[in-house]
Amino acid sequence: MKIRKQCALVALEDVKAYITEECGQIAVFDATNTTRERRDLILNFAKENAYKVFFVESVCDDPEVIAANILEVKVSSPDYPEINREYVMDDFLKRIECYKVTYQPLDPDNYDQDLSFIKVINVGQRFLVNRVRDYIQSKIVYYLMNIHVQPRTIYLCRHGESDFNLVGKIGGDSGLSPHGKQFAQALKKFIAEQGIVDLKVWTSQLKRTIQTAESLGVPYEQWKILNEIDAGVCEEMTYEEIETQYPDEFALRDQEKYLYRYPGGESYQDLVQRLEAVIMELERQGSVLVISHQAVMRCLLAYFLDKSADELPYLKCPLHTIFKLTPVAYGCKVETITLNVEAVNTHRDKPSGSTNSLPKSQTPVRMRRNSFTPLASPDTIKRTRNYSVGSRPLNPLGSLLFPEVRDGADQQKLQLQMGSACL
């Protein structure tokens, strides 16, 4: 026990170093924390460093749920490399019996009534939430109450090749090219061959994704938040045109693609925040096919494949290719399926001169950056947003635009999140 306590103290020092030296904001202390003594140790550490604490307790007393969890989750655990399933079941059941001897559950009525925590009972059958004190804690509760462990498959693909893809223009609302229509038919055949029960199909509200879904001959849902990243004044322009007309903007985006925001448009950081509702709904659902766009698909892939903000804007999402994602314990299996329909390449590699000069061990503070070109600049070409059929506002105001007022760097709360994985 002395060694285990020392290991916990060392891990807590790692938490402190992450937050104070590496600009971390939320730390997950992943440990069993099954006794009040251990939880008091964590609380004292947090008090000394002015951190907030939120405990997550997983309680499972259903034998069938426990057995299924061991087979589906613990077999993939690093604790059991290449060991037969019978041994895993027997060994982990013995570990549970050992934990029962010292386990002291969180007590919302007396001892722990002032703590912030959530109890997840039998893998989401019931929840008990106690003293949620801020936005971050409420988002954690929201996330835990929406995820599930049932088997499912998520299919991600872009729309078929569009007319704008052919000429290298970004954004806009063009229709499918002949090859794009051919891909839509190939996608229909592929989905039929999968034999997926209760498959849901989601698209954006832009013409090219809707036309792709229409060819499937199945019901589908349109999500406005699945629309492609808004390129603002650069909508319907080629990269060559952007480099010529807005050289400073072009250079800025290459320097920090994730944080860069198009004048009058969005950044990848904005897009990630916009897609939160879609990601949460994907966690709630069974099998889903999402037909979207290059930037949107990059964000979704980055979430499920645990990619960093630096990697996200350069993930390769070619046209006419399906990414089959199967969430599993400790990760997500990914299979790439190419439907062998010709298409142009829309990927731009990361410029060699845009690498950060900081040492790899030093993580820079990320701040939201506005572009150089001000929205009120007389040189700014204001382009109206294109709408697909049925999605145009009821009272369009023609060329009169109301640029969205955006604030500066987001203020984020510092918070320490503690995982209390109890049995």
How many whole angstroms from its chain centre is CA 340?
29
CA dist 400 → 271, 285, 383, 388, 397 (Å): 24, 40, 10, 19, 6
Active-site residue, 422 included: no
Active-site residue, 159 included: yes
Q: Which of the residues 57, 112, 173, 228 is marked catalytic?
A: 228
Active-site residue, 30 included: yes
Q: Which of the residues 57, 157, 159, 234 is marked catalytic?
A: 159
Please provide the distance, in angstroms rounded to a whole number, between the alpha carbons at the two ends of the chain. 19
Between CA 202 and CA 358 the distance in angstroms is 40
Q: Which of the residues 14, 21, 30, 72 is marked catalytic?
A: 30
CB distance 313 to 272 below 8 Å = no
**Continuous segment of H or E residues that includes residue 165:** helix 163-167
Q: Is 419 exposed, middle or buried (0-12, 13-18, 19+ CB in 10 A)?
A: middle
Between CA 105 and CA 423 the distance in angstroms is 9
Helix, strand, or coil (residue 371):
coil
Q: Given CA atoms 304, 309, 310, 314 in this order, what sign does their dihedral have?
A: positive
Active-site residue, 60 included: yes
**Which residues are designated catalytic?**
30, 60, 159, 228
